Chains A and B, each alone.
Chain A
Amino acid sequence: MDHWRKSVGAFWAAFLPPTFWLVAFFLAPLSLIWLFSFGVKSGITDIDIVWTFQQYARALEPLYLGIFGKSIWMATITTAICLIVAFPVAIGIVFAPPKARMWLLLLVILPFWTNLLIRTYALIAVLRTRGHVNFTLEWIWDKADWALVLVGLGDLHLLGQKFEPLQMLYNNTAVIIGLVYVALPFMVLPLYAALDRLDRSYIEASLDLGAGHIRTFWSIVTPLALPGIASGIVITFIPTLGSYLTPDLLGGTDSQMIANVIERQFKSANDWPFGAALSFLLMYATFFGLALRAVLVRRESMGGRP
Chain B
Amino acid sequence: MAHETASAPSTSAPIIEIKGVTKIFGSDVRAVDNVSLEVERGEFFALLGPSGCGKTTLLRMLAGFETPTTGSLIIDGQDMAEVQANKRPVNMVFQSYAVFPHMTVAQNVGYGLKIDRLPRKEIKDRVKEALELVKLDGLGERMPDELSGGQRQRVALARALIKRPSVLLLDEPLSALDAKLREAMQLELVRLQKTVGITFVIVTHDQAEALSMANRIAVMENGVVRQIASPAELYEQPASRFVGDFIGQINLFDGTASAAGEGRVKVTAGPFTDVILEGTATGNVCLAVRPEKVTISTSRPSGSNLIAASGTVTDIAYYGGFSNVFVDIGSGEPVLAEITNSARGVSSQYSQGDTAWVSWRPEDTLLFDE
Contacts and interface: CB of A to CB of B under 8 A. Distances in A.
B163 A201 contact: no
Interface in B54-95: 63-65, 84-87, 90-92, 94-95
Nearest to A212: B86
Question: Which bucket holds chain B's interface residue count?
Answer: 20 to 34
B143 interface: yes
A210 B102 contact: no
A223 B94 contact: no
A209 B87 CA distance: 9
A204 interface: yes
A218 B226 CA distance: 43
Contact of A202 (B65, B84, B100, B112): B100
Nearest to B88: A208
11 contacts: A199-B98, A202-B98, A202-B100, A204-B63, A204-B92, A205-B94, A205-B159, A208-B160, A209-B86, A209-B91, A224-B100
Given A210-B2, A305-B104, 17 more contacts: A201-B98, A202-B100, A204-B65, A204-B92, A205-B159, A207-B85, A208-B64, A208-B160, A209-B115, A209-B159, A210-B86, A210-B87, A210-B112, A215-B115, A224-B102, A303-B102, A305-B143
Interface in A260-306: 300, 303-305
Contact of B115 (A202, A211, A303): A211
Contact of B102 (A207, A215, A223): A223
B261 interface: no
Nearest to A224: B102
B104 to A, nearest CB: 8
A202 B145 CA distance: 15
Interface centre among B63, B112, B145, B160 (most CB of A within 10 A): B112
Interface of B: 2, 63-65, 84-87, 90-92, 94-96, 98, 100-102, 104, 111-112, 115-116, 143, 145, 159-160, 163
Contacts of B91: 208-209
B32 to A, nearest CB: 18
B96 A201 contact: yes
Contacts of A206: 100, 111
A136 to B, nearest CB: 40
A210 B100 contact: no
A105 interface: no
Contacts of B159: 205, 209
Interface in A221-239: 223-224
A230 to B, nearest CB: 14
Nearest to A304: B102
A220 interface: yes
A201 B86 CA distance: 14
Contacts of B101: 224
Nearest to B26: A97
A205 B2 contact: no
A221 to B, nearest CB: 11
Contacts of B63: 204, 208
B96 A209 contact: no
Contacts of B160: 208-209
Contacts of B143: 303, 305
A126 B105 CA distance: 54
B94 A210 contact: no
A208 B85 contact: yes
A170 B264 CA distance: 97
A61 B303 CA distance: 112
